[in-house]
Amino acid sequence: MGAVELVPGVSSGTVALVLGIYERLVHAISTAASAAGSLLRGRPRETAGHLAAIPWGWVLALLGGIAVGVLVLAGPLERLLLDHAQAMAGLFFGLVVGAVVACWGMLRRPTAAVGFATALAAVVFFLVLGLQGSGGEAAEAVTRPLWAFFLSGAVAVCAMILPGISGSFILVLLGMYAQMLGALNERDLPVIAVFLLGCAIGLASFAKVLDWLLARYHDLVLGALIGLMLGSLRLLWPWPHGLDSPEIGAPSGSVLAPTLLAVTGFVLVVVVDRAGRVLAGRRMTARD
């Protein structure tokens, strides 16, 4: 999950969906938010109850794995993305298509309404991604008020638990990406602190809403999340520039490597998903 956050169009939410831990992750974040709310209201017993409900061993192991993924794979992945942009785009394209297939199998009762939610989310997100320009934005001096950084952090962090979208892209859409780069480069601690506070509050609030929606409208929410992954394929199409822009063109130049890696990525995700389902079935049988 840590490594894929470095790649545009692939998010840790996608990995969590494929591995079957997405709902558990959202519920854990929602429970932590409830604990924080109870603490602020001065209810120690209620806070202790929420904290006890969090699977700390699982959460800490997950956070440790994310940290290792970022630290160990960031360098090699960055070099591969720079030197083999089209080939890596093909690999991630196949991984996300495989994730779509795997996640569609998680629906409890696919209906026309779920299909419509999936298609609508895919089309809207596909069009939104077209707003992104190619290339990066240069850092600029911090000129926005603190409340703008708070709100942008609260909105951008929601991408952490949404498949197919990155927080940096949200900042680009909000016009805050270069501003945030400037704050980081200038070591502007008050701005960074306000941004992180917005991230914490935004993540807690969004996780609670998403947890509630998943509990009541599981298939519709999952269908919309699948649509986000489908829409994100715009950024992962290998031609003409790999991961550098949302522009889409006919296959040209290097075609074999991206195609083979796309097929490999697709097969890998589907095999892992099928293996996970078999193991889960065996565990349920053993319990019975």
At residue 42, the 3 state secondary structure works out as coil
CA distances, 262 to each of 14, 88, 143, 258, 281 (Å): 16, 9, 43, 6, 29
Q: Check pLDDT > 60 for residue 135.
A: no
Are 223 and 107 in contact by the 8 Å Cβ rule? The answer is yes
Q: What's the whole-number mean pLDDT along residues 232-256? A: 82
At 179-206, the pLDDT tens digits run 777 787 788 888 889 988 888 888 888 8
Between CA 176 and CA 170 the distance in angstroms is: 9
**DSSP secondary structure string for all residues of 176-195:** -HHHHHHHHHTT-HHHHHHH
DSSP state, residue 6: G
Return the domain boundaries, the chain.
4-287
pLDDT grade for 114, boundaries at 50, 70 and 90: very high
Which residue, chain included where needed, has tokens 């290339």?
135
Phi, psi dihedral angles at 195 (to 5 degrees)? -60, -45
Q: How many CB atoms lie within 10 A of CB 124?
A: 14
Q: What does the pLDDT read at residue 208?
A: 85
Q: What is the pLDDT of residues 248-269, one digit of tens each?
A: 888 888 899 999 999 998 998 8
pLDDT at 235 over 60: yes
- What is this structure's pTM? 0.72
pLDDT digits (tens, 9 = 90+) for 28-79: 888 988 888 888 888 888 999 999 999 999 889 988 887 787 677 767 776 7
Residue 6: pLDDT over 70: no
